[in-house]
Amino acid sequence: MTRFPRLAVALASATLASLALTACGGGSDDAGPAGDPVSGGTLKVAFWPDNAAFPCVDPFQTYWIEHRTVIRNLADSLTDQDPETGEITPWLADSWEVAPDGLSYTFTLKDGVTFSDGTPVDAEAVKANVEGWLATVKATNGSAFGASYVVGLNGAEVVDPLTVKLTFDQPNSSFLQATSTTNLALISPASFQNTPADRCAGDFVASGAFTLESYSPNELLKIVKRDDYAWGSELADNTKAPYLDAVEFSYVAEDSVRTGNLTSGAVDIAWPRNPFTVEDRALIDSAGAAIESRSLPGVSQTFFANVTEGRPLADRAVRDALHQAIDIETYAATIYGDDYPLVEGGFDTTTPYFTSQADKLKYDPEGAEKTLDDAGWKVGDDGYRYKDGQKLTLVNLVPATSPGEELIQDQLKQVGIEVVIDVTPNAERPAKITGGNYDLVANYFTRADPGALQFILDPNLANSKALATNASTPETLAELQRLFAQAIQTTDQEQTEQAYADLQDLLIDEGVTFPIFERVQYAGVSSSVGGFAFTSESFLRLNDVWKQQ
């Protein structure tokens, strides 16, 4: 059996003991009620609203993190991924083989698994899912989020009732990890007779521990226990039917209201889009609730540069100075609190193959000033730098102003770089990026595999070809593509590991990415809730969760 390698480094360990903050995959040892789990009850979870994002719960189409938590508990996957080690483990598939040339993956399935409509989860069902994924890619013109997980996949063949072989026209070493994700979770063959829009609305059947009872976007989503469930992942303690009778997910726009609902007992878990403020964490702690946290794997919150000719960041010296001038430690402490873990590179620390670039991201304003001086960018009477009559001005493209953007603006001003915060609605952002009328734009990608970065930086795969093209010089782009190919188009794990290590060096050394902060998923959890656990993608796994009655 081929398995995923261990994480290259340990997870971030920053801890605020007084708030019971954890940075690991599971819940706090001392959190929740004492005693053995009990069955029954309805768990109430408060999410950030989905109307401003993508109101969809179809596994293959959904990119919204909150709904991927819901999907994780509705739909099972062929494999699972250990949040502690990054290892790929069995789930619906007992075992698998990867062909030496990387052009096929053969899965042997568990016997006796069924979708909630009674249809067997067998080789024919997996084949139907592969055909459904590829059809959805075509129907959505490649915009379905799952499209990025099936690059190179061209079909499936049934070997026997419980054995299925998936074939590729090019190797894709990220695919095994993809089979552990919510986006490639399996649904019944009949579900693919429904349109992508209908599946988004919840019109599908899966094999998970819960079934979807109702979904009213921006109002309430309810899932209910499946009594005959008996094939949970080995990463859960409880592989049988869940303890909870039901889970209700509400949508609350205001962070303070969501926190208030938790502390008042109106909800059991507050699941914020952004990390809790220091004040909210203090309120949660004073109410006797626990605060759980885990870094979201994948691309960190990162600035991507526009290095096209004529823009300031085409100058390598300006890119070098930018790394020196951004104080990520002060940013983290100011925006999220003294305990907040520091970003260490283009990927968050929970990403497999992560290698720290922390030494290259140290704050050095004097060094930034010398770098700019040596490159001919001299300070003018107004405190900003000029070269050949051009003011050193960077346009930062943002959807809305925030304290974080203003802090970066102030930090760069200290070394003579002017930052113009250009507030551009999301609907207008593609045109501005295509026109190249910016210098910095922030982006991220949540997936427990570094290959996710291709879908930002490789113009052949990226959602925004213009952003990918603008982010690197032609020479750097060619090297990025070579390293991605070396990492992904192989079955040699050592080669993959080395390629991703070299890639992470390149991102910083060539000024392709400018990390801002580690993306951390927080959850405020009532003292009446036990068994809380994060998945490898920092979603909520409900198999072991129970509620004191």
For the chain, give every domain's residue range: 17-295+521-547, 298-518
pLDDT, mean of residues 75-95: 97
Which of 146, 178, 151 lies closest to 63 in space, CA to CA?
A: 146
Q: What is the pLDDT of residue 231?
A: 98
Q: What is the pLDDT of residue 427?
A: 86
Round to whole Å and give the CA distance between 179 and 93: 10
216-242 core/surface letters (b: 16 or more CB in 10 A; e: else) = ebeeebbbbbbeebebbbebbebbebb
Where does the pLDDT of residue 50 fall: very low under 50, low under 70, confident under 90, or very high at 90 and above? confident
pLDDT, mean of residues 443-448: 94
Contact between residue 343 and residue 361 where contact means Cβ atoms under 8 Å apart: yes
Which of the pair, 533 or 17, is modelled with greater confidence? 533
Q: What is the dihedral of CA 27, 33, 34, 40, to 10 degrees?
A: -100
Indicate whether 342 pLDDT > 80. Answer: yes
Indicate whether 7 pLDDT > 80. Answer: no
Percent of the chain with pLDDT over 90: 85
Indicate whether 384 pLDDT > 60. Answer: yes
Indicate whether 297 pLDDT > 90. Answer: yes
Residue 494 makes CB contacts below 8 A (sequence gap 6+) with none
pLDDT in tens, 400-410: 889 999 999 99
Q: What is the pLDDT of residue 251?
A: 95
410 by Cβ neighbours in 10 Å (0-12 / 13-18 / 19+) ranks as exposed
Indicate whether 30 pLDDT > 70. Answer: no
pLDDT in tens, 176-190: 999 999 999 999 999
Indicate whether 54 pLDDT > 80. Answer: no
- CATH class of the domain defined by 298-518: alpha beta
Q: What is the pLDDT of residue 52?
A: 57
Q: What are phi and psi of 418, to 5 degrees?
A: -85, 135
Contact between residue 439 and residue 395 where contact means Cβ atoms under 8 Å apart: yes
Where does the pLDDT of residue 15 fall: very low under 50, low under 70, confident under 90, or very high at 90 and above? very low
Indicate whether 65 pLDDT > 60. Answer: yes
Question: Residue 210's beta-bridge partner residues?
Answer: 225
Q: What is the pLDDT of residue 31?
A: 66
According to DSSP, the β-strands at 269-270 and 42-47 are: parallel
Where does the pLDDT of residue 77 fall: very low under 50, low under 70, confident under 90, or very high at 90 and above? very high
Where does the pLDDT of residue 4 fall: very low under 50, low under 70, confident under 90, or very high at 90 and above? very low
Where does the pLDDT of residue 10 fall: very low under 50, low under 70, confident under 90, or very high at 90 and above? very low
Tokens encoding 336:
């999220």
DSSP H helical segments within 102-172, as ranges?
Answer: 123-139
Indicate whether 169 pLDDT > 50. Answer: yes
Q: Which helix (H) or strand (E) holds 298?
A: strand 298-305
pLDDT in tens, 468-521: 999 999 999 999 999 999 998 888 889 999 999 999 999 999 999 999 999 999
Where does the pLDDT of residue 12 fall: very low under 50, low under 70, confident under 90, or very high at 90 and above? very low
Across all residues in the chain, what is the average pLDDT? 92
Residue 204 makes CB contacts below 8 A (sequence gap 6+) with 58, 59, 187, 188, 191, 194
For 139-148, 231-240, 437-446, 474-483, which range has the lowest pLDDT when averaged over its residues? Answer: 139-148
Indicate whether 425 pLDDT > 50. Answer: yes
pLDDT, mean of residues 122-132: 98
User: Count of alpha carbons within 13 Å of 491, Cβ hemisphere only?
Assistant: 14
Indicate whether 223 pLDDT > 90. Answer: yes
Tokens encoding 209:
């521990």
* Topology annotation, domain 17-295+521-547: D-Maltodextrin-Binding Protein; domain 2 (3.40.190)
Secondary structure (H, E, C), 58-98 = CCCCCCCHHHHHHHHHHCCCCEEECCCCCCEEECCEEEEEE
* Radius of gyration, CA atoms only, the chain: 24
Q: What are phi and psi of 452, to 5 degrees?
A: -60, -30
Which of 241, 243, 249 lies closest to 271 in space, CA to CA?
A: 249
Round to whole Å and give the CA distance between 397 and 350: 28
Percent of the chain with pLDDT over 70: 94
Q: What is the pLDDT of residue 484?
A: 95
